[in-house]
Structures are given as C-alpha cells and as structure tokens.
Structure 1
C-alpha cells in the first residue's frame, strides 16, 4: 500500500510544474468565504490532481480544498479516501515566499497510509515508500528521509508565521524546545522528517487536507503526529467538516 506514495509523488510533481510558473507572476488573488486567499494556481493544480487520481484510482473518493470550499464537504465518508491540498501555504505563495507545497494523502481507516508533498519552488519531493520516507530533489536523485533524535540542549520547533511571542513561549515551556523558526505550509512536517527540525506543535485551526500528506511522510520517516494528550491523530472527521483539533508533530 505504501508504494502508492510514489504514484502520488509523480502527480504532485506534475501539479507543481503547472503551479510554479504562476508563482511571483502577479496573478490575481480572490478570497473564499472564510477570507483565506485562493488563486488560479490553487484551481489549476487541483483540477489536474483530481483528473489524475480519477484515472489511477477510480471510485476512491477525494476530499480537496478548493472543491470543499466551493461545494462543501460530505456529511459522511468511507474508510478509504484521498485528501488533496493543491497549494498549501497560499499566503506564502502570494507573498512570493518559497514555502508552499502540493499535497496528496491516502487515508485508510482514519489513518494516513501513503502521501506525497512537493515544494515547487525548491524542486523537493517527499513521499512514502515500503522502505520508509524518501526525498527526491531535482538534479540530486533520491535519498532516505529520517527524523532525528531530540538534540541535547533542546530541539528546534517550526511554527506558523502568525504565532506571537507569548504563544510561542507557552509552547516552548510545555514541549521543551529551545529554538523556533517560522515557516509556512506542510513543509514543516517534511523538514522534521528529514532531520532539520524536531517538533511542530499546532494548537490553532487546520483542515485535514492541510496536514495529512505531511503526517504520512513524517510517520514513514520515524516521527509521529499525535494529539497533545498523546492519542492517535485521526482523519475522516466528516461531522466536523474535516476540521482538525490540536496536534503535535515531532521526530524521534
């Protein structure tokens, strides 16, 4: 089942090639009902991904960000479905920052079993395989991605750009990290998966499609995504509109 991650990576990379020319192009930005931004890149990337998934995995439902924003989410979902975010970090994309990603995850029985994340601006791809997590960089080939052990003296946390100092200090006291770095999008999961950082505590709102692919990659790299109470973090929360509660992503 985890070999599906390689297929998902190819789809994400194709979508990334479609999205990248629109980055820093001055494209128009509109806003959804929740006031979050959406661009032509989001819509084009999603259309391509949905077409490819339908061809490769006919009959498997897909919950995707822009479709959900326009038409709503289903009241119920079966045990097997895809979660898609064609451009996670749209605010970063609009600002011209490189930390935006293309994401696909396969969920089975409320858990992510395969996933892929692509950072179009840096040509980096992370995906699940039967051996674990793999990173592919254009011009450099593939290598295993492994989370690192918590370093002596305290770990490095990745946090949202919108987090204020007071909230960050409270999280540092609770989780024990020594330093923090602000970063957009699901790339935070991937930087932990490859051993660059150690923890990503998130007590603010997210949607399932924001994090499922990163969760799959980090889990395959030896890390974890749990509730703050240490319980499994689950997907398919149709009754909640696929909204997430708090979680903590961390390495080994």
Structure 2
C-alpha cells in the first residue's frame, strides 16, 4: 500500500512557501504522494485558504518523485476546457506525476456553493461532473469541442480518482470508468472491503486504485487488508506546520 500526505491548505498551511517545503520534505522522507484539498472557503474558525492549483505547480518544481494532485476538485464549479489545459500543463510540468481527484463537492462545510452562486442541487452537479469528465477525456486525447487540444498530458491515461460516499452506487459506476476511487467519510474497514468487491464486479475483476483518507492516529493495516491501495494521512482544518512536520518525520517509523 502506498502512502500520501493529505493536506488542507488552510491557515498555517495556506502559506505556499510552507507547503512547498513540506512536499519536498515528504519526498525526502519516502512518502509516495502529497495531495491537497480543493476549496475556496471553509467554515469558521478557518480564515486563510490557499489555491491548490498554484500550490501544486510550485510543488511540482520542488519535487521529482511523489505523486501530486487535488483531492478532490469539484468539477461542477470549473470550466472543463480550463481544467483540461491546467491538468495537461501540470502533468507535463511534474513529469507525469499528476493524479486528478474529482467529486461533487458539498455546501455543508463552508457554503462555498451557495455563497458564490454555484449549483447547489446534487443531481445537477452530478450531471456537470459527468459532462466535464467527458470533455477532459476527449481533451487529453488531443481534441475537444472540435478543436485540437495540445500538448497532451505525459500520462496516457492521466489517472482520475472519483470520490463518493460508501453505499452510493453512482460514484462507483463513475469510478469504474477511470483509475481509482476515494471513499468519503469512511467509518470502518468493512466498508472498504465492500467497495473493493463492488469495484471488482464493475471492472470485470480489476480493482484499480482505492485510496482511503485516515486521521494520523488511525492504524491503516485493516484498511490495507480490506483492499485499500493508498492511505492518505489527513491533516485537515486546524492542522499546524508542526503537525505536518511530525507526521512527515513519523513515516514508517
């Protein structure tokens, strides 16, 4: 099982210089990936929020091996053509290390949909997500909207991990079209075993990537035994620079 830092770029971790140094330190310590939350707002007491795409570009220049990406970006609030350009460029900048996490997003944690006039209906957002994924798939192949989309990403295919709640079938069906699945709000390793079985059924026996986000004091071993291929050690809202450094130092010790 591979291991990644999973950082919310809020408050102390909203400083781009800090996040870039942490990504480089994680690579040096042996971590396999560094992924960032993608939000424009979060509920109090969080105040400072950094843009993950700018951070990822800087992280790409400061690292050579770790996988990078937003985990996850809500495509319903993004212009698909812009995301296609961003992802292709970022994948080339980092030498083929981008993993794109995608999901519906949720207004509950920061009202970042309702306050900014974005689509709040989950069904409508699901339709926008699927449409955007179709555009990205076409653009990464070299053409979308009837025009060339070049340069293409280094990776073919560029890995896409789809997020979804355990027990929901639609996100699993969506994930079966791509390379990975990220269950949201996991409560128990048994849920991972059920998800793994469903994904194998949908993919004709193949699992793909199954990435679980866990708090730093949770033992990942039962989740790995249940089928997880990645564990994302979560440093969410309220995490400090000292917290991140401690987690990095504690890797596989």
Q: Is TM (by shorter chain) over 0.5?
A: no
Superposition TM-score, scaled by structure 1 size: 0.28
Superposition TM-score, scaled by structure 2 size: 0.28
Counting strand residues as a fraction of each chain, which structure ranks higher? 1
Counting helix residues as a fraction of each chain, which structure ranks higher? 2
